[in-house]
Structures are given as C-alpha cells and as structure tokens.
Structure 1
Amino acid sequence: MDAPKIGESTREERSAYVSARFPCLSDCDLCGNCATFHGREPLLAFADYVAGREEFGDVLARYRRR
C-alpha cells in the first residue's frame, strides 16, 4: 500500500499509515525502526509528513541518505 498523499488524506490517516507501516515490536534487536530513524519513534521521524508539510517519500529519503 502506498502512503496517502498529503492533499488526499487527513492528518489521522497519515498518522495511522506511519503507525501501521512501522509498528513497534518492543524488541529493538528484532525491529530496527529506532536504529533506522536514529533513535526517534517513527511518528516523530515522520512528523512533517503527518502534519502535511512534506510527502512521505521525501521524509523517508532523508533517513536513507544518512
């Protein structure tokens, strides 16, 4: 499933997408989300996307470049 576009979704839909895409498994060695996002929870890492300031792919690309 593709990330909802900012102009076609609500804040709640974008937040639900990020939560579903990067669920916390409560086992950091198994999950890796915190390492991927440099110790930040996915909802904090994607705050600009959830708030509608930047598309999902743009935020994700920032973390892939680091």
Structure 2
Amino acid sequence: MSAGYHESKMGYLIQDTTREEREKIVAESLGNISAACDGCSAGIVEMYQPYIDGLKELAEINREFRAGYVSGDK
C-alpha cells in the first residue's frame, strides 16, 4: 500500500473527521442518487447515518451491507 493511499484512506476515519466533514463525504459519495430510482435514496442515506453520527466506520457499514448478500446457496 502506498503512503498516498494510506493517507487519503485515513482521512475518512471518524477520528480524523468532524460531523460536517462526514456529512459531506457521504453526500459527495452518493451523488445525485434521487435521479437513479424513486424512493431508494432515503434508505441508502439512512444506512450511512451511524457513520455521520460517529458510531460506525464506513468500512464496517459497507461490510455489514455486503454480508447481507453473501449466500452459500448456488
């Protein structure tokens, strides 16, 4: 992992950001999702609320989301 990657990744941790910065990170990451589908944006934004509130890191939220799609069935 290069130093540049490590430094930029560190900038998203709760300890390295203010609430306002986390709100901006989520908003910029999601972009204009309201144009993508009707009624789905609220759920996606709510999913990241614990990060904005400083309760869970982005990686933890994303890992939990992906775990819901893992299945042993083929």
- TM over 0.5, shorter chain: yes
Instruction: Give me the identity figure in percent.
Output: 24
Structure-to-structure mapping, 1:39-54, within 5 angstroms: 40-42=43-45, 44-54=46-56
- Tell me how large the CA RMSD over aligned residues is: 2.4
Matched, 1:18 2:21: no
Query: Moved runs in structure 1, 4+ residues, more than 2 A?
Result: none
Number of aligned residue pairs = 58
Which segments of 5 or more consecutive residues in structure 2 lack a partner in the other structure? 1-7, 69-74
Higher relative contact order (CA 8 A, sep 6+): 1
Give the TM-score of the pair, scaled to structure 2. 0.64
Give the TM-score of the pair, scaled to structure 1. 0.71
